Structure 1
């Protein structure tokens, strides 16, 4: 017996979650299935809309103004400017403590690599660190956290020409955290303001950290830390440190595992739960059955058995080449669940450029869709009447070069979920 729903979303990343949330808020009975845990925990927590044009122009000030000039194959052209705005409004409603929704302009956010990234939405924890602010900055790294080299980051920011003086120092984190301690251990200690031993004395962790950093301050108005400043009580941790330091405190977005990403994941899954959507992870979708020009069910592998999941509408949000939502062999590129068509040059040597930073065709590989985001076959007809696609599985854009990955996932996820709910409810 099949497990039924009106809309079935395949994939638990940002596109899949947004699709499920959009469909559920439109009144559909929604189930999300994902093989792996959400990839958000590996993301910086920044939400990029469009940082650079496909020709490399940028950083762009207003990403919305650039959308009409994108190639017709770009997913933003399918969704349209109004559709992107509606999707970002949904994100703003559910994402929790995020900033950037007050303006169309991109913010410039320093990263742990010392670059300045144009982004449309950013966690409140990063707000005091914007590169457009001309107040001086002290960056603080920890000896036990090698992923954030504060002097290195500061040097790169100075080379990038930021409009403020920036220094970086490395200090010992209070207590006895090991060099291989997980970022969640730092966060937990600061969340609870647990006791640490400093020179033989027990001290609250926040007091001890502020006391150490105060010895390094030279009048800077802002102090930046790696993104480990709490989880459940992140705002309280920042405010406590700011009060003790007499300076605004911010987090610099980090690579995986990412606490800002985990915080965003929690907020989005809480919103899914509140909307009544069901979700499950850990079991892959391994095939499908068709009924004419429609998908009748998909097969989910559980403990060696293939369980049918049936729905009126399906949304494919399994990621691109990196996420295995698009696969390649020596002579072909394809989508592995429904075998959707993926356009690519016949000559494999044309898939990439000899220049590492050149124009790589593979970066734009993915399914092409109609106006309802239904994947198209090689002749330009919908693969299935009741299958839509969203996120990185879509072709026609280079999300890494454009800094558009999160925005495309949110915009196409919102549109695919809303359209799926509308079609399901009209049956």
Structure 2
């Protein structure tokens, strides 16, 4: 049995989804295969383009800063216009879920660690909490959600913003296990589960009652990002009606409800565009002929099934997603064994100081202007393979705050170029 498509995308995150959607919109039959759950559910849900470059001061206008980046940076490969176009596609797909598309200026969003982060797009659920709104703020944490220390976050924020921030920790309403997952708490708010059947008191109303005792002069209230999943808009609206002030979510680490909501929207878009999606089975090999990939082998149970395509896009992630891996002998790309530039001496991979500009943070495949991975001599590894997202080298996504923007823009360009090259 062989599977065939025009464009095969390997990887199910922002880059892979963008590539598959763009290829399908161009008329190609597109298929996306992904082994593990993508990293969106571990991400904050914020969409960063470029937050920092060359200093500790956040960038105000990210598009103006892109031309100053090194030539090997992924943004320089695709160009500023492509970054704008990818955000326009993102805005279309996530309409009603995100804000920020009205301006090219970065917003400053509070984080659960008590910092502010420059970002280009932010969930609508976080909009009321932007630091540009100089309104006194109450942060509310829950005893069972130990990843968000509201008093500590408030203390840190209060020292860096021009408004008062207070924090309080309260019990989550209802009887839940001490180790209850945040998804369980979100479902309780989704369903507005009854806590007092006699008085018909639901979880949302009970939460508002507990918070109201601490409101004081606060003009807005921030919660960890667990205010519902499928009904998150209704949950916020109910709390705002009960409390009389705007309510917002503070983006969190894993598991991230905003990340899961974004994942749902992206995969709805893939279905709408007719992209066939398969998950849970790894790509374990490939065949090539005269410098072109002819098929990849997908491990389905105990059988390796060939997936044929004319064009391929590699969007498997970076060091975190295992799209780039390493041993004591070196750093490598595990699917196609694409070349990963790296110092020969292992001790040159890193600097001693933890917060230094670390060389390993830029490890990834090098690509040409068409996003085709290059071999050690600087020639394309394969004429019909492109790479996108965190598998690319030449940039430090964590330091720059550029991960989402690079994934969106290189994914869209890779999908478009693949579609244009169909024979």
Which TM bucket (shorter chain)? over 0.9
Give 1:14's aligned residue: 14
Aligned to 1:177, what secondary structure does the other structure show?
coil
Give 1:376's aligned residue: 374
| Contact 1:285-1:298 at 8 Å conserved across structures | yes
Deviation at 1:345, TM superposition (A): 0.6
Counterpart Cα distance in 2 of 1:206 and 1:45: 23
Counterpart Cα distance in 1 of 2:168 and 2:404: 32
Structure 2 unmatched runs, 5+: none
Deviation at 1:84, TM superposition (A): 0.4
| Contact 1:133-1:163 at 8 Å conserved across structures | no
- Deviation per CA, 1:114-156: give whole Å up to 9, x if none: 1101010000000000011101101111112111111011011
Counterpart Cα distance in 2 of 1:234 and 1:327: 37
1:344-359 residue pairs with structure 2 within 5 A? 344-359=342-357
How many matched pairs? 422
Aligned to 2:336, what secondary structure does the other structure show?
coil
- Deviation per CA, 1:162-215: give whole Å up to 9, x if none: 1110100111111112221111111111112110149x9651111111111111
Give 1:262's aligned residue: 260
Aligned to 2:367, what secondary structure does the other structure show?
coil
Give 1:92's aligned residue: 91
Deviation at 1:326, TM superposition (A): 1.1
Counterpart Cα distance in 2 of 1:328 and 1:141: 39
Aligned to 1:212, what secondary structure does the other structure show?
helix
Counterpart Cα distance in 2 of 1:171 and 1:300: 48
Counterpart Cα distance in 2 of 1:330 and 1:173: 47
Give 1:274's aligned residue: 272
Deviation at 1:265, TM superposition (A): 0.3
Counterpart Cα distance in 2 of 1:91 and 1:131: 24
Give 2:386's aligned residue: 388
| Contact 1:8-1:32 at 8 Å conserved across structures | yes
- Deviation per CA, 1:215-234: give whole Å up to 9, x if none: 11112110111111111111
Counterpart Cα distance in 2 of 1:118 and 1:79: 22
| Contact 1:175-1:197 at 8 Å conserved across structures | no
Counterpart Cα distance in 2 of 1:315 and 1:121: 25
Give 2:41's aligned residue: 41
Give 2:285's aligned residue: 287
Give 1:184's aligned residue: 183
- Following TM superposition, the consecutive aligned residue runs of length 4 or more in structure 1 with deviations greater than 6 angstroms are none
Give 2:124's aligned residue: 124
1:198-277 residue pairs with structure 2 within 5 A? 203-277=201-275
1:144-155 residue pairs with structure 2 within 5 A? 144-155=144-155
Deviation at 1:113, TM superposition (A): 0.7
Moved more, 23-32 or 181-190: 181-190
Counterpart Cα distance in 2 of 1:148 and 1:322: 23
Structure-1-length-normalised TM-score: 0.97
Give 1:322's aligned residue: 320
Q: 1:344 to 1:75 in 2, by over 3 A?
A: same
Counterpart Cα distance in 2 of 1:305 and 1:88: 39
1:359-370 residue pairs with structure 2 within 5 A? 359-370=357-368
1:148-163 residue pairs with structure 2 within 5 A? 148-159=148-159, 161-163=160-162
Structure 1 unmatched runs, 5+: none
